[in-house]
């Protein structure tokens, strides 16, 4: 969730600044770790054709309610990361190096969190060519739970670490974990 990316980006940026003294590298970490998600907004406006409701609350509500039909996400791309890495080898500009490490951290956490909750194939999803082969269609790429709880409180959901679930889903999860804890054979 975006709030987790914001927190981890700030932490990485602080560590990079404390260890290198480079404002450029630290700024790059924020850009790569958090602002990389700008491509979600780009998808919202361009591919979802939501330019009539460009506000941040409408955007967050749309995404948290799992409404997108396409996930182009050009910045969430292994191909872009590889290209940037080659550029860094040739010209290690601190801002770009910071961006690359921030984006790498962002994608790592995306695979961990989204891989458990949203993505059908977590690692291939982050290859732009894989998404293009599936025409960027969410029904082919995502295993989305259309929870009625998602999108109700977009600002609060922004700062959550995990997706929102319905009360029914939460109760089922609690019953399942109680069963697992009670039966040591499971």
Mean pLDDT of the chain: 81
Q: Are 96 and 28 in contact (CB under 8 A)?
A: yes
Give yes or no for residue 161 having a pLDDT over 60.
no
User: pLDDT: is 62 or 177 the higher one?
Assistant: 62
Cα–Cα dist 151/62, whole Å: 7
Residues 6+ apart with CB under 8 A from 174: none
pLDDT of the residue at 3: 74
pLDDT of the residue at 86: 98
Q: Token pair for residue 6? A: 């914001």
Buried (b) or exposed (e) across 153-177, using 16+ Cβ within 10 A?
Answer: ebeebbeeeebbbeeeeeeeeeeee
The predicted model gives 115-122 an average pLDDT of 83
Q: Which 3 state secondary structure label does DSSP give 70?
A: strand
Residues 6+ apart with CB under 8 A from 186: 179, 180
Strand partners, 70: 137
Intra-chain end-to-end CA distance of the chain, in Å: 30
Q: Token pair for residue 89? A: 């080898």
Q: Which 3 state secondary structure label does DSSP give 112?
A: helix
> Which residue, among 2, 23, 5, has the nearest Cα to 98 in the 3D structure?
23
Structural domain of residue 120, as residue ranges?
2-182
- Residue pLDDT, tens place only, 30-52: 999 999 989 988 889 888 888 77
User: pLDDT: is 7 or 179 the higher one?
Assistant: 7
Q: Which 3 state secondary structure label does DSSP give 137?
A: strand
pTM of the model: 0.77
Give yes or no for residue 59 having a pLDDT over 70.
yes
pLDDT of the residue at 68: 76
The predicted model gives 2-24 an average pLDDT of 93
Cα–Cα dist 39/44, whole Å: 8
Give yes or no for residue 179 having a pLDDT over 50.
no
> Which residue, among 36, 15, 35, 16, has the nearest Cα to 25 in the 3D structure?
16
- 185: DSSP letter: T
For the chain, what is the domain count? 1
């Amino acid at each position: 969730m975006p709030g987790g990316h914001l927190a981890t980006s700030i932490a990485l940026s602080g560590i990079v600044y404390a260890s290198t003294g480079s404002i450029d590298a630290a700024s790059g970490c924020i850009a790569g770790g958090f602002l990389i998600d700008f491509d979600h907004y780009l998808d919202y406006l361009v591919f979802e054709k939501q330019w009539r409701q460009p506000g941040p609350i409408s955007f967050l509500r749309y995404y948290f309610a799992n409404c997108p039909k396409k996930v182009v996400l050009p910045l969430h791309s292994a191909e872009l990361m590889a290209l940037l890495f080659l550029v860094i080898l040739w010209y290690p500009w601190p801002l770009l190096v910071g961006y690359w490490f921030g984006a790498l951290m962002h994608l790592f956490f995306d695979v961990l969190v989204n891989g458990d909750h949203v993505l059908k194939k977590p690692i291939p999803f982050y290859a732009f060519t894989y998404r293009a082969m599936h025409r960027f269609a969410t029904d082919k790429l995502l295993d989305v739970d259309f929870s009625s709880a998602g999108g109700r409180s977009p600002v609060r959901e922004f700062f959550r670490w995990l997706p929102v679930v319905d009360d029914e889903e939460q109760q089922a999860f609690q019953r399942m974990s109680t069963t697992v804890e009670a039966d040591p054979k499971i």
